[in-house]
Structure 1
Amino acid sequence: MSLRGDPAPAGDETAEELLERVQGMVPAALEAARAAGGFPGRWKAIAAKLETLPACLSDLSSHPCFAKNALCRELLQSVAATLAEAADLAGRCREPPPDGKLRTQSAIDALAGKLDLNLRDCALLVKTGVLSDASGPSPPPEAAAAGSPAHADVRELLARLQIGQTEAKNRAVDGLLEALRKDEKSVLAVLGRANVSAMVQLLTASAPVVRGKAATVVCQVAESGSCDGLLVSEGVLPPLIRLAESGSLVGREKAALTLQRLSVSPDVARAIVGHGGAGPLIEICQTGDSVSQSAAAGALKNLSAVPEVRQALADEGIVRVMVTLLDCGAVGGSKEHAAECLQNLTSSNDGLRRAVVSEGGLRSLLLYLDGPLPPEPAVGALRNLVGAVSPDSLVSLGVLPRLVHVLRVGPVGAQQAAAAAICRISSTAEMKRAVGEHGCVPLLVRLLEAKSSGAREVAAQALASLVGCPANAREVRKDDKGVPRLVQLLDPSPANTAKKYAIACLLTLSAAKRCKKLMISHGAIGYLKKLSDMDVAGARKLLERLERGSLRSLFSRD
């Protein structure tokens, strides 16, 4: 049988006929390789590969899905082309090489690469279940009628990610993207470890266009949230980080989005930093477009939530970049991610707090809080920083008016963070008086009725600190709801975490007879008896004070 014709057109041949033709081509190609002149080491290696081919073909033909699967036919056509090329090149390889030594050597190496690929694909089809995956049952008629991609077609596309040359894989990725667009759930339903591994491997393909498309597929799969563990276990992080560092615009964007999604897990966040992923993400924050910048900032926010990597992030220069994003981020999402990142970085590290202040982070946060709806992360970052700045600086920078603004219009979480900031700055008589003069006390009283127990607790804590200033105590007494709300916080249930601060506040206010009467009339004595039995600090003292007042009132009436 001639090996010189084009073996690819085999449309009329059955799979068995094509197999028989390929098996008949092997002896001639092997004989030609053994007789080839020049480059004996290379031809010897090619001959050794050709000797293993019959066994691989035999294993392939014995697979139950061999005759009905298009992948087998395509592989056999590719093998036939490789055998024809081997026989032709070996026949022309004489001393001296007719095409020049370097060109002939390159052609032999390319032939060896094709033969390796054929052998690998043959073994993969047999051993990994690709043939079975690509031969799954058809979907129900109603799914096909609705235009959903057939499960069998999806399985075949996924199988094609693993075999063939780059161009064939490129077409498979195109088909997979289309299938994901039409019916993402159907594609995700048939994903397996081998398919995910093939996607990950395509992230390092030699062709940039294939890498970009593979990154798009991986990003969409990651966004589904159903394959995070598989992606990470199959080694997706290093190639994603390389794409984020030096990929195309599409590759960098999709890599940043995928890293943002995966870094929600603290273990993955640690691994990203361990693989050197912080630097590329920080670079994208400085140079990327709006989408990639926001995604990179979101990923860095997730990384900063892990305490043990915060110093490593600081060493990469994250503080300055996040402060810059607060000032001039391309989109609102970038600014909010930057604020939350700064909040995480400054939550427990005095050195990082000082670094943020020295980079102008406090001023940037204050400007960011001037918006109509102050974001909670920015207020949280401000709360962390106020202790690293002198009281005079807090006043000169305008911190107190911003906190009042947050308490007045911010969401409950932001109000809670603002109240916590007030607790931290109310350490001196001067600052307590300044806080009161800016109108914080009535707003904190209002916060005592928040649905969030944490917000009620921190509001009571702030008031307990502030009422040490007589002017602030008068503000609470003047508010018709001040004392009644504090009494409500004497509830002894374990869920009420504000009771100890309510007691401290009421102890100070109880110096006024009117306040004592209000406390008694709203049931404070009953609460305090239970709290005294529970040994809550200050409860017995306040109870005795109220009971003395109650007895005097009784004797006075008598």
Structure 2
Amino acid sequence: MRNEVLLSIEQHIDCLISSTCSIKTFCFKWQVIREKLRRLNSDLKSSVHNSRSCKNSLLEELLQDLLKAVSEIKMLADHCFNDSYSGGKLLMRSDIDKASSRLDILSKRFSEAHASGTVTYPEAIVVAKPAAGASQDDMRFYMNDLFLRLRIGNLDMKVTALEAINDILNGDDKHLVALLLDVEDEISLLVSLLSYSDVGIQERASEAVMFIAGFDSCKAALIAAGAIDPLVRILEAGSTLAKVKAAWTLKNLTENSDNVWSLSANGGVTALLKLTRDAQSNAELIYPCCGVLQNLGVVTEIKRFMIDEGMVSILFELLTSKDEATRIQAIELLTTIASGEDIIKAEIVRAGATEKLLKFLNPNIPHSLKEREVAFKAIDLIFFSASNSLYCLLGSRFLGWVLFFLNTGEDSIQEVVLKAMLLLCEASEEAMKAMGDAGFMSLLVKLLEVKSSKVSEMAAQLLVKLVSVQKNRKKFIDEEQNLKQILELLCPGDDDVKEARRFLLPLLTSLTNSNSGRKKIATSGYLKKLEKLAESDVIDAKKIVRKISGNRFRSMLNGIWSF
């Protein structure tokens, strides 16, 4: 049986060497592959001739792996020769490089199988993990043994070695991890196992690669080893566990925008969209997939492709997920998709974003603070910058629910709401008028007295913006209690004045733009306190006193001239 496989491999290699001579695209890379094939043929014959057992299961496995690799490289070569390669030159070059690396790994496996002696047998003794405090040489020997078993061991030996490697990567011994990652060619070997046909090997290799992707210093090595393509293939056809690990790995790798295009070229975007279509299934998988898509969404061309493939409707479905983390990730991804382009924002609004996002602000529906916070950010980005979308928002129950949270919410949600309302003021004067009509100003005055200094200061800042609109200013001054309360807060005692005046004086300054505002401040009984602040070189207090005094002087002149 072995001789038949060997003959078949030799025929395939000879045919492949011959056919690649005529390929004109990346001809130097194909020349390198031909040299590696010739060396492999020599190593193969040496390993078979020196095998100690005609029933050596390891050698049979190596022969099958080589036959599969040569067959797949032959298909790649045929596509390159016939100009029928559909992935473009970028993907073609990547696939040729991966084929070349695959031959290197196989050649090394055959050489080690020939030289390793008893390690080629399944029953070989497994080196025990060194005890704590062991020498560096002992630990390095242990690491080398693990990776040797991965290269030339049978299935059981590979599983055992991978479990030991994952135990190290998942452990607390950082020194041991550093040694593991320092073993020669270890990352390339682990990446090659991602394409292994055995599900157990693939799952354990996916876990190891996921841990390694968490080390910034190793990400470039994973990319150089060609990790993107097998990870995408796992997303397409791997087990659920392997898919989860692959998605987390890609999330880490695509934090570098240079790797985004590589994932896209290997069909990663389509695979990820397919996995996220069912909002109710496997949140453990959907969450990291959304994380990868969020990294991809920063590239305009990929973002547009995602939208064309139905990304918005997928996200709307994910907003109904039973898993809170998935809902939050979906809102954040929707925000990323919407950023930067008004056309996309308009498309999202037309698709029904108003109803989908506002439900997270409905006080009658239980949602976490984090959900409401990211929903406010999404609403800010999508609705506040376009007048048509803003009118749609103001025509909903949005302002009423905002008032509810300002009136009854905790400090944390009040801060989120106030920040959003400050941004809304920047977006539109009509929005400020709507807020004045809805009763925001009297509630904001009450918030000036809360214990949270951040809430009270943001409330004052929002009041300043609202009273800058003449209609709101008149309404504010006409309500007698508003101005009285501000003056009482400004001048309760000398110890409190310094903190209070920082955000209350700008509010009073804005109110002096109105004749009735100046008159009420002048007759309030607090003018002397303001004059005292002005004498202390407080700029806002000087402005207020100057406006009121100038107005009184003009009144006196008008009285004299009237005689």
The yes-or-no answer on 1:420 pairing with 2:423 is: yes
Counterparts of 1:169-188 in structure 2, within 5 Å, are 169-183=158-172, 185-188=174-177
Which residue, out of 302, 308, 327, partners 1:335? Answer: 327
SS in structure 2 at match of 1:227: helix
Match of 2:398 in 1: 399
CA contact 1:256–1:295 (8 Å) conserved in 2: yes
The yes-or-no answer on 1:212 pairing with 2:210 is: no
- TM superposition score normalised by structure 2: 0.63
Counterparts of 1:323-362 in structure 2, within 5 Å, are 323-326=316-319, 328-362=320-354
Match of 1:202 in 2: 193
SS in structure 2 at match of 1:329: coil
Counterparts of 1:223-372 in structure 2, within 5 Å, are 223=214, 227-269=218-260, 271-273=262-264, 275-287=266-278, 288-305=281-298, 309-326=302-319, 328-370=320-362, 371=367
Match of 1:386 in 2: 383
> Which letter does structure 1 place at the counterpart of 2:255?
V
Match of 1:376 in 2: 373
CA contact 2:293–2:333 (8 Å) conserved in 1: yes
Change (3 A) 1:330 1:106: closer
CA contact 1:305–1:341 (8 Å) conserved in 2: no
> Which letter does structure 1 place at the counterpart of 2:307?
A
CA contact 1:159–1:195 (8 Å) conserved in 2: no
1:242-279 residue CA offsets vs partner (Å, 9 max, x unmatched): 22233221121111222233333444445544544333
SS in structure 2 at match of 1:335: helix
The yes-or-no answer on 1:121 pairing with 2:109 is: yes
SS in structure 2 at match of 1:81: coil
Q: Within 2, Cα distance between the matches of 1:231 and 1:50? A: 25
How many angstroms does 1:402 deviate by? 2.4
How many angstroms does 1:303 deviate by? 3.3
Match of 2:486 in 1: 480
1:371-426 residue CA offsets vs partner (Å, 9 max, x unmatched): 36353211011112333446663344211122224444316345412432354354
Q: Within 1, Cα distance between the matches of 2:507 and 2:345? A: 31
Which residue, out of 51, 59, 62, partners 1:81? Answer: 51
CA contact 1:260–1:296 (8 Å) conserved in 2: yes
Return 5+ residue gaps in structure 2 as ranges: 16-36, 57-62, 72-102, 120-126, 491-495, 556-563
- TM superposition score normalised by structure 1: 0.64
SS in structure 2 at match of 1:264: coil
Match of 1:134 in 2: none
Q: Within 2, Cα distance between the matches of 1:310 and 1:321? A: 14
Change (3 A) 1:116 1:232: closer
Counterparts of 1:158-173 in structure 2, within 5 Å, are 158-164=147-153, 168-173=157-162
Q: Within 1, Cα distance between the matches of 2:66 and 2:391? A: 79
Greater CA drift, 264-273 or 284-293: 264-273
Change (3 A) 1:417 1:213: same
CA contact 1:391–1:431 (8 Å) conserved in 2: no
> Which letter does structure 1 place at the counterpart of 2:237?
S
CA contact 1:477–1:483 (8 Å) conserved in 2: no
How many angstroms does 1:346 deviate by? 2.7
SS in structure 2 at match of 1:340: helix
> Which letter does structure 1 place at the counterpart of 2:317?
T
How many angstroms does 1:333 deviate by? 0.4
CA contact 2:450–2:456 (8 Å) conserved in 1: no
CA contact 1:447–1:455 (8 Å) conserved in 2: no
1:111-154 residue CA offsets vs partner (Å, 9 max, x unmatched): x99x9987533657999xxx9xxxxx999854469xxx955323
> Which letter does structure 2 place at the counterpart of 1:427?
E
